[in-house]
A = this chain, B = another copy of it.
Amino acid sequence: MTHDPKNAEPVLLVGSMAFDDLSLPTGEFPSVIGGSATYAAMAVSLFAPAQIVAVVGEDFPEETLEALRQRGVDTRGVERAQGKTFRWAGRYAQNLASRETLDTQLNVFADFRPKLLPEHCEARWLFLGNIHPALQLQVLSQCGTARFVAADTMNFWIEGERKLVEEVLSKIDTLTINDEELRQLAGEYNIRKAAARVLTMGPKRLVVKRGEYGAMLFDEAGVFYAPAYPLEVEVDPTGAGDSFAGALFGYLAKAGRVDPTTLRQGLLTASVVASFNVEGVGHAALSSLTPARVTARLEELRRLVQVE
Chain A residues within CB distance 8 Å of chain B: 94-95, 189-193, 210, 213, 216, 222-227, 230-234, 261, 264-265, 268, 303-308
The closest CB in chain B to the CB of A216 belongs to: B230
The CA-CA distance from A74 to B213 in the complex, in Å, is: 39
Asked whether A222 and B264 contact (CB < 8 A) given A189-B94, A232-B192, the answer is: no
A sample of 7 more A-B contacts (CB under 8 A), given A190-B231, A213-B213, A261-B308, is A190-B233, A192-B230, A223-B230, A225-B227, A261-B307, A264-B306, A264-B307
| Chain B residues, Cβ within 8 Å of A231 | 190, 192
| Chain B residues, Cβ within 8 Å of A305 | 224-227, 305
| Chain B residues, Cβ within 8 Å of A193 | 232
| Chain B residues, Cβ within 8 Å of A303 | 222
The closest CB in chain B to the CB of A266 belongs to: B307
Say how far A230's CB is from chain B's closest CB, in angstroms.
5
Contacts A/B (CB < 8 Å), 16 sampled: A190-B231, A190-B232, A190-B233, A193-B232, A216-B230, A222-B303, A223-B230, A223-B304, A225-B227, A225-B304, A225-B305, A226-B305, A227-B305, A261-B307, A264-B307, A268-B307
- Counting from the closest, the 8 A-B pairs by CB-CB distance are A305-B305, A264-B307, A213-B213, A95-B189, A225-B304, A192-B232, A225-B227, A192-B230
| Chain B residues, Cβ within 8 Å of A233 | 190
| Chain B residues, Cβ within 8 Å of A232 | 190, 192-193
Instruction: Point out which of A210, A224, A261, A307 has the most chain B C-beta atoms below 10 A from its C-beta.
Output: A307
The CA-CA distance from A223 to B232 in the complex, in Å, is: 12
The closest CB in chain B to the CB of A268 belongs to: B307
Say how far A207's CB is from chain B's closest CB, in angstroms.
15
Say how far A296's CB is from chain B's closest CB, in angstroms.
14
Say how far A218's CB is from chain B's closest CB, in angstroms.
9
The CA-CA distance from A46 to B78 in the complex, in Å, is: 61
Asked whether A234 and B190 contact (CB < 8 A) given A213-B213, A227-B225, the answer is: yes
| Chain B residues, Cβ within 8 Å of A307 | 261, 264-265, 268
Say how far A88's CB is from chain B's closest CB, in angstroms.
25
| Chain B residues, Cβ within 8 Å of A225 | 227, 230, 304-305
The CA-CA distance from A304 to B227 in the complex, in Å, is: 11
The CA-CA distance from A307 to B266 in the complex, in Å, is: 10
Verify A191–B227 contact, CB threshold 8 A.
no
The closest CB in chain B to the CB of A213 belongs to: B213
| Chain B residues, Cβ within 8 Å of A308 | 261, 264
